[in-house]
Structure 1
Amino acid sequence: MSFRYESLDELAADGIEVQLDPNQAVLLERSELVDVRRVDDGTYQLLPNGRVGAVRFDNLQIEVTPKQKLGVAHLIFLLGYAKNPGFRPETVTAATYGDLWPAMAESLIASVEQALTMGLLQGYRTEQEALLTVRGRIAFADQLRRRPGYFLPIEMRYDEFSPDIAENQILLAAIYLMLGVPRLQPETRRRLLHLAARFAGVTRLLPGTPAPAWQPSRLNDRYQSALGLAEILLRHSSTRVSAAGAEMSAFVVVMWEVFEDFVTVALKEALAGYPGYLESQLAAYLTGDGDWTRGGGNSHGDVFMRVDVVHRDEAGNPDVVFDAKYKLASSTGTNANADHYQMLAYCTALQVPVAWLIYAGGGKDIRRSIKNAGVDVVAAPINLRQSPHEVLARVRQIALTAVNEPAVSV
């Protein structure tokens, strides 16, 4: 059976029609990548729902691409930076592989091979077991609870120097996740199996098990790039098998959440050390009593709002509002009415003179003055197709302009 590839843009309102068997339709619906609507026997309409990514079956791949056709490297950068501002996608091979799954697999291979150039990382982990001799520390509470009145065996707790540590468990879990992807190239699968064999003595995490916690340090510095990519794969990927045995691998992200998380972290990094501080997801009310300009949560009312990011000055007074919009309320960005209504509400409730509406797109900043309100709204685009350095420089430009310049109406 020949392999089929179906793609739709995340803004394609009419979606596409594809041929699916009932098991594939069920698995695709469970992935939540698209809304699945049955047209007739074997034909389904797929509609975008704010998510992007790819679902792969044995003979079919369905992909929802981000607006502006963001590549794999751009998407991985946004996901990684939002969790770790030190993350850079140097090992993502998107220039070579346009298809998401081969790019993911080859990128993981490259990053793990680089991490293992000096061998498998080892560390101390705490073990506990019943022994006939003393080793480490006696776990008295466990001894009394499990073996009251008995001297042997002894419940011992000791530190073991072992490769079975969180960092290796995460990398191994990501490798096995990629091995579950249908129709990878034989050479790619062979390299993944070879890497898995190098993690001898490392516990394989069961599918769906949360990744164990680890802390960046000088000792695991060579692992950190690979760990960033592995955690992205584990967080956003899944494999499923239907009752009839159909296999599916899915990588799905919600783009507005990705963009909002990225902008929030990037703004905080850009203004770190600058006078004042940023507060994200500020709870406020459009109606009611209380003075939010003095800091402190003493506002109350019945029209609740949650503001993406607010910058407070050194006295705790809000002075700038930021709001991340992956896409504006209008497709052109020139008549984004609903977004401007929202910014006006934020500024009115917080007594802030200017709001920055940060969205994914091209072009220049557009500053508008709201009539009879003393409020300016600035629509500021970020071109996500640029390099990570350029994207972060753009966020920094927006952040510093916002906190340094007074509102100027045009």
Structure 2
Amino acid sequence: MSAEPLRLTVDETGPGIVRELTGDQLAALLGVPGLVRLSPAAGGRWRLAGNQKTGLVRLRTPSGATVQLRLRPKLPVRNLLFLLGHSPTDPWLNETVEAAEADDLLPALADLLARVTRRTLDSGVLHGYRTVEEELPLIRGRIRTADQLRRVGLPLPVAVRYDDHTPDIAENRILLAALHRAARLPGLPPRTGLALRHLAHHLDGVHPLPPGAPLPRWTPNRLNSRYTPALRLAELLLADRSLDADDGQLPTTADGFVLDMPAVFERFLTTALTTALARRGVRCAAQEQHHRLDRAGQVRLRPDLVLYRAGRTVSVVDAKYAARHSPAPPTEHLYQLLGYCVALGLPHGHLVYAATSGDGQGGNGPSEHAVRRVGITVTAHALDLGRTPAQLLTEVSDLADRITAAAVPDGAEADVPPGATRE
């Protein structure tokens, strides 16, 4: 009889928990670096503290036992789902009211995928044309002349190439892979698992993705627009890019789903702030590379957001998934933003922190920090992620107003740095 699984619940932030762990269990936890922070505690025990990740992972130990690790978010699931899914063009968050009734992230995400996919497939399964090369006993499409002329003996089968109208396209392959994976998530209610498997049966004729294969590429267009919300959620469930394993994915000794919360906050801020600033005539460039800090151009900088107006660099923004410190941001945060401002020739930059209701940071206004001798001002802001979606978007709009007001006016010295590239 197999041993009872070890079940651990660790909050995303905070002091963590102290537990006795066998060497076998410790090896499983260490097998996914960065998942939690481990440190020795009194009495030969171990302290497990959150590392800004949320989700649920089932780890297999070297002896074959199981460690189930639940990483509990500090935000309510409803708020977290809003951060994950916010988009001005295809908000699938209309579905989250019922999906977020549970306190657990995984059941909520799986239920949300089932709801969005059901709505997507109600209008039928999307078909597309796919180029097929095969050998047939009859002519279909075009003959692959070069391949056919190389034949010796009988002319059949014929080497042909044709376009097949099929459901076996990138969009459906991604959706099918997400349905299969969501149905296997640990702790899933039977009703949700049944709904996911039923929806997968609708995708008859779609080939499953091979294990470990990269997701096929798809391009949003008029024909697949109704699929877009489901595909964005499917790619989220299939990503697992938040773990620090060598290949960026869960190792073969683990399964589950984990979100890296700093990355979630950065993506939300990028999307929401880009939309808000566009209405004010400011363009945002995300994750753009710059090499103008040193004369040789060897130091690479990649700010979260560089802001342009009429082709000129006007400001820079960096997202920080942490409560805003008082009276001043941490020194390393200031140094980082100062480097961005110096490289871009800007007198003003912005740090945007993620506050939560109850931490005493969300209601505070921005704080300015003028750096002596260099003439650069850093402004620290806080967005309260614990507020309702409408309130949070209002905060983003107010933030856009403050950033625009402080931006370099037209005609100032800052300009577009040559050689900037985007990753």
Report the TM-score, using the length of structure 2 for normalisation. 0.77
CA distances 1:353-376 after superposition (whole Å, capped 9, x unpaired) = 211111111122222333344322
In structure 1, C-alpha distance between the alignment counterparts of 2:117 and 2:368, rounded to whole Å: 46
In structure 1, C-alpha distance between the alignment counterparts of 2:386 and 2:93, rounded to whole Å: 13
Match of residue 51, structure 2, among 46, 49, 52: 49
1:272 aligns with 2:278: yes
| Conserved 8 A contact 1:56-1:181 | no
What SS does the aligned partner of 1:306 have?
A: coil
AA aligned opposite 1:121: L
Note the 1:261-340 alignment, pairs <5 A: 261-272=267-278, 275=281, 277-280=283-286, 281-288=288-295, 300=296, 305-314=301-310, 316-327=311-322, 331-332=325-326, 334-340=328-334
| Conserved 8 A contact 1:109-1:192 | yes
CA distances 1:33-57 after superposition (whole Å, capped 9, x unpaired) = 2144677999643233343322246
1:331–1:141: structure 2 CA closer, same or farther, 3 Å change rule?
farther
Aligned counterpart, 2:382: 381
CA distances 1:174-205 after superposition (whole Å, capped 9, x unpaired) = 11112222343332322222222222221111
In structure 2, C-alpha distance between the alignment counterparts of 1:197 and 1:335, rounded to whole Å: 52
Note the 1:164-243 alignment, pairs <5 A: 164-236=168-240, 242=253
| Conserved 8 A contact 2:169-2:206 | yes
Compare 41-50 and 379-388 and name the one that shifted more. Answer: 41-50
1:351–1:62: structure 2 CA closer, same or farther, 3 Å change rule?
same
In structure 1, C-alpha distance between the alignment counterparts of 2:159 and 2:291, rounded to whole Å: 54
Compare 1-10 and 103-112 and name the one that shifted more. Answer: 1-10
Question: How far has the Cα of 1:324 moved from its partner?
Answer: 1.4
In structure 2, C-alpha distance between the alignment counterparts of 1:24 and 1:169, rounded to whole Å: 36
What SS does the aligned partner of 1:307 have?
A: coil
Aligned counterpart, 1:131: 136
Question: How far has the Cα of 1:232 moved from its partner?
Answer: 0.5
Question: How far has the Cα of 1:99 moved from its partner?
Answer: 1.0
In structure 2, C-alpha distance between the alignment counterparts of 1:78 and 1:144, rounded to whole Å: 58
Compare 125-134 and 385-394 and name the one that shifted more. Answer: 385-394
List runs of 5+ in structure 2 lacking aligned partners.
60-64, 242-248, 356-361, 409-423
1:11 aligns with 2:13: yes
Note the 1:134-149 alignment, pairs <5 A: 134-144=139-149, 147=151
Question: How far has the Cα of 1:118 moved from its partner?
Answer: 2.5
Aligned counterpart, 1:62: 69
Question: How far has the Cα of 1:379 moved from its partner?
Answer: 0.9
| Conserved 8 A contact 2:7-2:69 | yes
In structure 2, C-alpha distance between the alignment counterparts of 1:78 and 1:28, rounded to whole Å: 28
Note the 1:149-164 alignment, pairs <5 A: 151-164=155-168
AA aligned opposite 1:54: L
Q: How many residues align?
A: 384
Aligned counterpart, 1:291: none
Question: How far has the Cα of 1:322 moved from its partner?
Answer: 1.3
Question: How far has the Cα of 1:306 moved from its partner?
Answer: 3.4
1:366–1:160: structure 2 CA closer, same or farther, 3 Å change rule?
same
In structure 1, C-alpha distance between the alignment counterparts of 2:94 and 2:108, rounded to whole Å: 13
1:116 aligns with 2:110: no
| Conserved 8 A contact 1:353-1:374 | yes
1:22–1:240: structure 2 CA closer, same or farther, 3 Å change rule?
farther
List runs of 5+ in structure 1 lacking aligned partners.
243-247, 289-299
What SS does the aligned partner of 2:103 have?
A: coil
In structure 1, C-alpha distance between the alignment counterparts of 2:399 and 2:377, rounded to whole Å: 15
What SS does the aligned partner of 2:370 have?
A: strand
1:260 aligns with 2:266: yes
AA aligned opposite 1:204: P
Compare 250-259 and 87-96 and name the one that shifted more. Answer: 87-96
1:347–1:183: structure 2 CA closer, same or farther, 3 Å change rule?
closer
1:135–1:47: structure 2 CA closer, same or farther, 3 Å change rule?
same
| Conserved 8 A contact 1:236-1:251 | yes
Question: How far has the Cα of 1:60 moved from its partner?
Answer: 6.2
AA aligned opposite 1:249: D
1:80–1:186: structure 2 CA closer, same or farther, 3 Å change rule?
closer
AA aligned opposite 1:133: L
Question: How far has the Cα of 1:251 moved from its partner?
Answer: 1.4
Report the TM-score, using the length of structure 1 for normalisation. 0.79
